[in-house]
Amino acid sequence: MKSLVKLSTKVLLLALIIMASACTEGFDELNVSPTAVQQDRFDENLLLTRSLVYGALRYTEFQRAQQLYANHYVQYYSIAVDYFQTGRYISRNDWSTDYWNAAYSDFGMQAQQVIEITSKNPEKVNKTAIARIWKVFIMHRLTDFFGDIPYSEAFSGDITPAYDTQENIYTAMLEELDAAVQSFNGSKTMGFGSSDVIFGGNVAKWINFANSLRLRLAIRVSDVAPALAEQHVRAVIADGRLIADVRDGAIMPYGRDFGNATENLQPMAILRSFNEYRVSTTLLDLLEDNQDPRLAMYVEPTEGGQYAGLQNGLNPEEINDLNRDDYSKESQLISNQFSPTILLSHAEVEFLLAEASVRGWNAGSAQTHYENGVNSAIQFWVNVDANLRSRLSESDATVLPDINLADDAIANYLAQPAIAYDPSRAIEQIITQKWLANISQGFESWSEYRRTGFPRLNPIPNTDGLSETGSSLPPSRVRYPIEEETLNGANYDAAVARQGADLMTTKIWWDVKD
């Protein structure tokens, strides 16, 4: 009996020893992720590329925020299917949430990570500066979309960051752009090289972009905070380093063949293939009324050879009663797989300077800037056309419109009574031209529409009364993600109390036009 107990004890001990020795030895190693790495092994260049590509909006975010909200709000396009409702000024939480989420926890965060990683190394100061500029680009779109948002406490890991007022955010962004430009140091390692898919590592172009963006931001607040605006506009003009050529604008280029999965895809090309929208009556009418040479560049005739715009804001019943194929799509120039996305064009800089000039901020001739802007805007698509034709096979190029721009076409267009510069209607003309120049870039156009009331848009029918703003009023902002109420409730409540109810009709800080 005793020996048995002894033996059993031995067996038990032996087994326990086997278990215990195996126990936690190697556990740390085992729990190291085999498919991801920690910061010490990572490369900031990879983060920057993602921040640029996603920040310029890949097709998912492009569709959900820029296309389904802004591009419909400013009536570039009209929804032609019964299952999308944003064009009727009805909230769609998941899409706005997707954009908010991507801007913060994806492309904004990648920019922030670049700043954090590179600022540990003084040699990389220029990389830090580029990431700072890009982060401002991301954040200004976000605050223009929602209003007050977390800015100073954002990206900090604090899971309940406070909302900053848009006024503070704009002030901070303008200063940040100034500081970033000041921090460039020619003696240090220059940019990101080929990882910089916007400017190809050209640091000078980043400086031009930063100043041009600063100009955009300053003009945006010119009604609500004229002193602040003037200070920055004058500073930028004094510095002089701005986007000065149609070929030097900030664009996101798109690369190889559509079918190449390793390639980031041109967002409009994907959206076009979904066949869910048509060119808006508003856009088509404006192009046709003024014999705009961009008609063929922007709009594709229907199969019946007609140009036909679709009214904005039809409800499902109305959409189901019509035939999509009777209405025009946008042209392949805009939505070819090789077409670029415009982020900030030379034309826009000219229009900004024109407005600065109208406001008397020592920016030269408003008319010259206006005409330069129109020229640049049209020339941009001529260049795109040439570029596409050089890259597409002959058979693939047949989808492109025959733009056939006569030598005097732009001049003739500028001579149109409604188009010729008229100081009494300068702001309307400038903003309307900017809207035309920024086709498909609804974020910027919607902001400028809210600021100035231009271009003149058509009311939507709102037959069933579901519009959250009424029929004639495009939304003033987009509602915060529902998750912010539940996950960051106290700060959300404070922001709403300050800014006004979380509705589409609540105006944001810089939107002071009646």
Partner 1 sequence: MSRNLLISLYQRIFFEKWKTLRPFTPLLFSLAIFVGIALPTNPLMAQKTITGVVYDADNITLPGVHILELGTINGTVTNLDGFFELTLKSDDAILEFSYIGFEKRDIRVGARDTLVVSMQESSNMLDEVVVTALGIEKVRKSLGYASQIVEGADLSQAREVSVMNALSGRVAGVQINRSGTGPGGTSKVVIRGYASIGGSNTPLYVVDGMPMNNPQGGGGQFGGVDYGDGISNLNADDVASITVLKGASATSLYGSRGANGVVMITTRKGSARRGIGVDLTSSVTFETPLVLPELQNRFGRGSNGQFPLDSNGEILDGIRTSWGARTLGQTDFNGRPIVNWTGQPSAYEAQPNNFQDFFRTGATSQQTLAFSGGDQKTQFRLSLSDMRSQNIMPNSELERFSVNLNVNSQLSDKLKVSGKINFVRQSAFNRPNLTLSPDNPVNALLQMPRNVRLQDLEDFRNPDGSVRVWTNATGNDQWNNPYWATGLNTNEDQRDRVLGFVMAEYQFNDKWKLHMRSGTDFYYDQRQNRSATGTIYRVTPDRSFYSTVDSRVEERNTDFLLSLRQQLTADVKVQASVGANQLTIRSNSLNTVAQGLNIPDFFVIQNALSVQSSEAIANKEIQSVYATSQFDFRDQLFVEISARNDWSSALPANNRSFFYPAISTSWVFNELFENNKWGPLTYGKIRASIAQVGNDTGPHQLDLLYSVNALNHGGQTFGQIIPNQPPVDLKPELTTSYEGGFDVEFFYNRLSLDVTVYHAGTRNQILNVPVSRASGFATSRVNAGLVVNRGVEVALKATPIRTKDFGYDTFINFTRNRSFVEELAPNVESYQLGGTYDQFGVRILAEIGRPFGDIYADRSFLRNENGDIVVGTNGLPMPDPNGRKRIGNFQPDWMVGFGHNFRYKNITLGALFDIRRGGDIFSFTNAVLAASGNAEFTENDRLEWYAGAGGYLVDGVLEDGRENFIEVNPQTYWQYVGGRASAFAEEFIYDGSFVKLRELTIGWILPTRILETTPFTKASFNVVGRNLFILHKNTIGFDPEATFNAGQDQGIEAFAFPSTRSFGFNLNVSF
Residues 6+ apart with CB under 8 A from 271: 59, 62, 63, 67, 277, 335
Which backbone phi and psi does 42 adopt, to 5 degrees?
-90, 165
Q: Is 157 in the site for partner 1 (CB under 8 A)?
A: yes
Cα 228 versus chain centre, distance:
24
Q: How far is the CB of 401 from partner 1 (least distance, A)?
A: 17
Can you tell me the distance from the alpha carbon of 446 to that of 465, in angstroms, rounded to the nearest whole number?
Answer: 23
Q: What is the dihedral of CA 74, 75, 80, 81, to 10 degrees?
A: 10
3-state secondary structure of 278: strand
Facing residues of 164 across strands? 149
Rounded to a whole number of angstroms, the minimum distance from the CB of residue 296 to partner 1 is: 20
Residue whose CB is less far from partner 1, 373 or 481 = 481
Q: CB of 478: closest distance to partner 1 in angstroms? A: 14
Q: What's the rounded Cα separation, in Å, for the pair 496 and 66?
A: 24
Is residue 33 near partner 1 by the rule CB under 8 A?
Answer: yes
**How many Cα neighbours within 13 Å face the side chain of 485?**
10
Give least dist CB 309 to partner 1, A: 16
Widest Cα–Cα separation across the chain? 115
**Would you tell me how many other CB atoms lie within 10 Å of the CB of residue 306?**
10
Q: Mark the segment that binds partner 1 (CB under 8 A) among 36-44, 348-356, 369-377, 425-433.
A: 36-44
* Least distance from partner 1 to the Cβ atom of residue 102, Å: 9
* Cα radius of gyration rounded to whole Å, the chain: 26
111 or 284: CB nearest partner 1: 111
CB of 225 to partner 1, least distance (A): 24
- Select from 41-49, 170-178, 224-232, 366-374 the region that touches partner 1 (CB under 8 A): 41-49
Residues touching partner 1, count (CB under 8 A)? 110
Q: Which of residues 69-98 bind partner 1 (CB under 8 A)?
A: 82-85, 90-95, 97
Query: Which of residues 274, 415, 459, 494 is near partner 1 by CB under 8 A?
Result: 274
| Residue entry with tokens 């994907």 | 270
Helix (H, G, I), strand (E, B) or coil at 351: helix
Question: In the bound complex, what is the minimum distance in angstroms from residue 269's beta carbon to partner 1?
Answer: 9
**Could you give the string, one character per residue 244-273, with x where binding to partner 1 holds by CB under 8 A and - elsewhere?**
---------x-xxxxxxxxxx-----x--x
In DSSP notation, 429-448 reads HHHHHHHHHTTT-HHHHHHH
Residues 200-219 that bind partner 1 (CB under 8 A): none
Segment near partner 1 (CB under 8 A), from 373-381, 403-411, 450-458, 462-470? 462-470
* DSSP H helices in 103-190: 109-118, 125-146, 166-183
Residue 93 to residue 69: CA distance in whole angstroms: 11
Q: Where in 296-355 is the site for partner 1 (CB under 8 A)?
A: 303, 315-317, 320-326
Q: How far is the CB of 91 from partner 1 (least distance, A)?
A: 8
Q: Which is nearer to partner 1, 261 or 406 (CB)?
A: 261
Instruction: In whole angstroms, give the CA distance from residue 474 to residue 449.
Output: 9
User: What is the C-alpha end-to-end distance of the chain, expressed in Å?
Assistant: 99
Backbone angles phi, psi at 84, to 5 degrees: -115, 135
Strand partners, 279: 77
Stretch that binds partner 1, among 155-163, 243-251, 363-371, 399-407 (CB under 8 A): 155-163
43 lines the binding site for partner 1 (CB under 8 A): yes
Q: Which residue in the set 411, 415, 466, 512 belongs to the binding site for partner 1 (CB under 8 A)? A: 466
Site string (168-207) toward partner 1, x via CB under 8 A: --------------------------xx-x----------
Given the complex with partner 1, which of 118 and 429 has the nearer CB atom?
118
Cβ contacts of 235 within 8 Å, gap of 6 or more = 178, 214
Q: Which of 368, 397, 482, 507 binds partner 1 (CB under 8 A)?
A: 482
Contact with partner 1 (CB under 8 A): which of 62, 89, 100, 509? Answer: 100
